[in-house]
A and B are shown apart, each in its own frame.
Chain A
């Protein structure tokens, strides 16, 4: 499935993500990593669960408001439900042991030049590329 190349929109989105990461550090002193924020509200809850839920609610509601306001969000899922569930389970286990994901390691950690985050990001980017190649061009699922 082809997707449209959107350099300006993607750049604008990236800048917003970076702005959010900066503000979360300035206000709450926290890394804007989705794995860390989410894990704190999976029982047993961390003691500072309230701001985490507020952040997640904001993150979910904002795109919906944007759509209602007439904005467009390109979205297509070319993956079957069983593979989404399998992928979800694997992602959950991986981000727990890897202590972060694209937002935590890939953006916040790399921006701090953390060697751990650079190693983690390089590892998951390579693993993802290899997996996509295997799934699409070898297994052809």
Chain B
């Protein structure tokens, strides 16, 4: 129960950070990338602040503890391969982000106040994940011999 309360509070810090930073505001996100147009460099400060804080925070956490408070181990990604799947997937995500102005971390905290736009985007995004997962499952299934 304690773990759930803390998870909710940590999510709240995340959501508030996203909302006030401008990451949940497609107008601001798209303007950040629109250097040739109505450029707004604010998002450099979001990324900079988040990166520096996390880099420092992770150092403190990994230096001070051998395991997290509510789990037996730190779950860090073990895949280190930079392959076509990673690059093509990331490029695809970038295209979608550039079209809609919402990324997953920006959209979820906007669900409570952003109205039909963000609900439509998030619904489509979930369908996209389900489709990709289904396609990937098909591709990875061994083909039965006749």
Contact = CB atoms under 8 A, between A and B. Distances in A.
A100 B12 CA distance: 20
Interface in A36-71: 38-39, 42, 50-52, 54-64, 66-67, 71
B14 A38 contact: no
Residues of B in contact with A, size category? 35 or more
Contact of B125 (A2, A74, A89, A127): A89
Interface of A: 1-35, 38-39, 42, 50-52, 54-64, 66-67, 71, 73-79, 81, 83-99, 101-103, 105-112, 114-116, 119-121, 123-137
Contact of A77 (B13, B27, B89): B27
Nearest to A78: B27
Given A22-B54, A25-B58, A94 B46 contact: no
Contact of A81 (B58, B117, B125, B133): B117
A90 B105 contact: no
A111 B102 contact: no
A54 B114 CA distance: 20
A93 B22 contact: no
Interface in B70-123: 70-71, 73-77, 79-82, 85-106, 108-114, 116-118, 120-123
